A and B are shown apart, each in its own frame.
Chain A
Amino acid sequence: MDQIALLIAATLNSGTVLAFGALGLLINERAGIVNLGAEGMMLVAAVAGFAVAVHTGNEWAAFGAGAVAGGVMAAAFGVLVIWLNTNQYATGLALSLFGAGFSAFVGIRYTQEKLGERASFHIPYLADVPFFGPAFFRQHPMVYLAIGLTIAIAWFLYRSRAGLVLRAVGESPESAHALGYPVRRIRLAAVVVGGALCGVAGAYISVVYTHLWVEGMIAGKGWIALALTTFATWRPARVLLGAYLFGGVTMLQFQLQGEGVQLPSQFLSMLPYLSTILVLVLISRNVSFIRINMPASIGKPFFPG
């Protein structure tokens, strides 16, 4: 029982990383922009957040630094893609490749550092409930924040006027432009917010999740977050569920390793990647299902003339 409670807790924790990243990417994809640079943004943000945490000891400042790092990188990407009409895939890839190199370069002096164990969080009373306490109520505040953010984004997209405009920009930039909305600026804003959330995810990994910085430590989580938006057919609640699902797969791998399952650890380490492929295959099989839900202008440049 305790084992299961701990597994749930760990799942929520690792799912939170993916949730922040994927929710951010969801926002910019809803505006019609695919940013393949998620992995690079998360890497640079992980270093930035870690460095700030080392120097200030303040987690929230670290998340802020991660958000700024992600936002700045996304802004560079956004200007190229939105104003200079560069190819979104190629530019995103460039961002990922640059981020991998840059984070390794900047992070080299932090590879020896380790953050102290943080104080554990307890929600008064609830944390003491058997099973449910350790499973749900002893988490880092960011875990609850991710849930709140999901609700906020869902409300924003489907209940607010600004969200409607954002979706309009993603579905038909020409129509939004004709109505007088500044399509490019809206897209840039969406891209920057997306980058900032990826940045928070990156900082969360290095600061809360591992307490250390290792070169290439994001290990594909940025790409999995990208895949998640497709799995979730661009819906916030499904993104969150998907994030927990993949968080669970990652944790299951450690759990199985810990229990001495007779399978080489390398095959267990493949699990998150293999399950991403598997889910991608299952979801994509139905072409029309994807197409109905996909923002219509996704990946296409918009040139207002």
Chain B
Amino acid sequence: MLRLEPRPEASRAMSIASPLIALAITVVIGTLLFVMLGKDPLRGLAVFFVEPLRSSYALTELAMKATPLLLVALGLAVCFRSNVWNIGAEGQFIVGAIGASGIAMLATPSTGGWFFIPVLLGAVVGGMLWAAIVALLRDRFNANEILVSLMLVYVAEQLLNYLVYGPWKDPNGYNFPQTITFLKATQIPKLFTGYRINIGAPLALLAAGAFWVLLFRTYAGFRLQVGGLAPAAARYAGFSSRSALWTTLLLSGAMAGLAGGLEVAGPLGQLTPHVPAGYGFAAIIVAFVGRLHPIGIVLSAILMSMFYIGGELAQSRLGLPQSLTGVFQGLLLFTLLACDTLIAYRVRWKPARSDVAAVPAAPRAAASSLAASIEAELNPVIASTTLPARGGS
């Protein structure tokens, strides 16, 4: 009988191997899926893992799709590390895009090329504002941030619809629900001519560096994480869980908003109901697959971007629905979480039931050391928090 046995210490090797094992399992399931659908599995896999790397143009497209994922996931990683469950990044992304559009539409033909800066600031403010609602309701009224942030996604979608169907609709747009095409001056500067990629990509890499410094080299970052790892210890040390809540939510809202602004003022060039592309949700997967670590997140953002581009290609080349992307993304997170068990446990073969009497007093100690090791590795909640109440009374 297979049994899980707690490791005395969380396995570092496994914490790196686990995403790779999960990816391998996802690929195997994907291969089976292609066979079941009557498609050549090799072609199917090539569409996801080879085609997006084929040419310099493909590579820049890959980087461009990875940019919003990376930005959003960085913010979420800080949230999850400090045990704040912001899963409404999609809504903050939308309101960021709305904020950017509001500023972008103020541009006049004489506006200079610097105008993209206030546009992005508008995006950041929009995202922060939306996240601030979550922080406020959690802080003042103890309202569960998972549900509030998620409900606000639907509200943001309706807000976007209202604007593009109503006051912001392009009067010369043949009644399509979209704003005017933003003026050239508002455009995010491009990196190379002939490619769509803009300064968002290097900006996101820079942000990853900044988050690494914040998390692992500053006292503020340390304080944020202690609250997630050991709330009691954080309280004892006098680290405010309220300020952690506000900081992480505003930070992740700002990042999601920025990503929304880069999209709308970058490749899209106007606000439409199709702005929300699910990046806010996919970024949750990116954050976990990247181990909530900035370097890991860079890699997983690229991987997830391959899934996106692969899904588009699967539609055009293989005639498969684009929603295949979502299937693979979901599968990856699911298998990853299962594989993460190997970080804190090892699988042992034991003859059935012989172990019942063998370990009399150990369970409690094992369980508590186990809890500590899971907390240390996975960071988010698990043992310490429950759905509603946060911190002490």
List residues of A whose CB falls within 8 A of some B CB. 34, 36, 40, 76, 80, 83-91, 93-95, 97-102, 104-105, 108, 215, 219-220, 223-224, 226-227, 230, 264, 266-267, 269-270, 273-274, 276-277, 280-282, 284-285, 287-288, 290-291, 294, 298-301, 303-305
Contacts and interface: CB of A to CB of B under 8 A. Distances in A.
B380 A266 contact: no
Nearest to A304: B363
A130 to B, nearest CB: 38
B333 A266 contact: no
A90 B146 CA distance: 11
Interface in B306-350: 321, 323-331, 333-334, 337-338, 340-341, 344-345
B144 A280 contact: yes
Contacts of A276: 147, 151
Nearest to B33: A105
A290 B94 CA distance: 32
17 contacts: A84-B341, A87-B382, A94-B333, A97-B282, A97-B330, A98-B329, A100-B330, A101-B330, A267-B158, A273-B152, A284-B141, A284-B144, A285-B142, A294-B388, A301-B382, A303-B363, A305-B367
B362 A305 contact: yes
Interface stretch (B97-105, B160-168, B185-193, B260-268): B160-168
Residue with the greatest number of chain A CB neighbours at <10 A, chosen from B137, B148, B321, B386? B386
Given A94-B330, A281-B137, 12 more contacts: A80-B334, A85-B345, A87-B337, A97-B330, A101-B323, A102-B327, A227-B151, A270-B158, A273-B155, A276-B151, A299-B387, A303-B363
B382 to A, nearest CB: 5
Contact of B338 (A84, A264, A298): A84
A205 B385 CA distance: 33
A54 B148 CA distance: 36
Interface string B379-393: 011110111110001
B70 to A, nearest CB: 18
B362 A104 contact: no
A23 to B, nearest CB: 18
Contacts of A215: 323
Q: Is the interface of B mostly helix, strand, loop or mixed?
A: helix
Contact of B144 (A85, A230, A300): A230
Contacts of A264: 162, 165-166
A41 B211 CA distance: 35
Contacts of B386: 294, 298-300
A149 to B, nearest CB: 23
Contacts of A80: 334, 337-338
Nearest to A293: B388
A74 to B, nearest CB: 13
Contacts of B338: 80, 84, 86
Nearest to B359: A305
B385 A299 contact: yes
Contacts of B162: 264, 266-267
Greatest chain B CB density within 10 A among A101, A104, A282, A300 is at: A101
Complex A-B, nearest 9 residue pairs according to Cβ-Cβ distance, in ascending order: A101-B326, A305-B363, A98-B330, A104-B323, A266-B162, A94-B333, A84-B341, A105-B323, A101-B327
Interface string B232-249: 000000000000000000
B207 interface: no
B183 interface: no
Given A277-B151, A290-B389, A95 B366 contact: no
B150 interface: yes
Contacts of A91: 334, 337
Contacts of B345: 85
Nearest to B366: A305
A98 B334 contact: yes
B46 interface: no
Contacts of B4: 83-85
B159 interface: yes
A102 B330 contact: yes
A288 to B, nearest CB: 7
A33 B202 CA distance: 42
B147 A227 contact: yes
| Residue from the set A84, A291, A305 with the largest chain B CB neighbour count within 10 Å | A305
Contacts of A98: 326-327, 329-331, 333-334
B208 interface: no
A98 B282 CA distance: 11
B353 interface: no
B326 A105 contact: yes
A105 B151 contact: no
A40 B326 CA distance: 12
A42 to B, nearest CB: 14
B158 A97 contact: no
Contacts of A100: 281, 326, 330
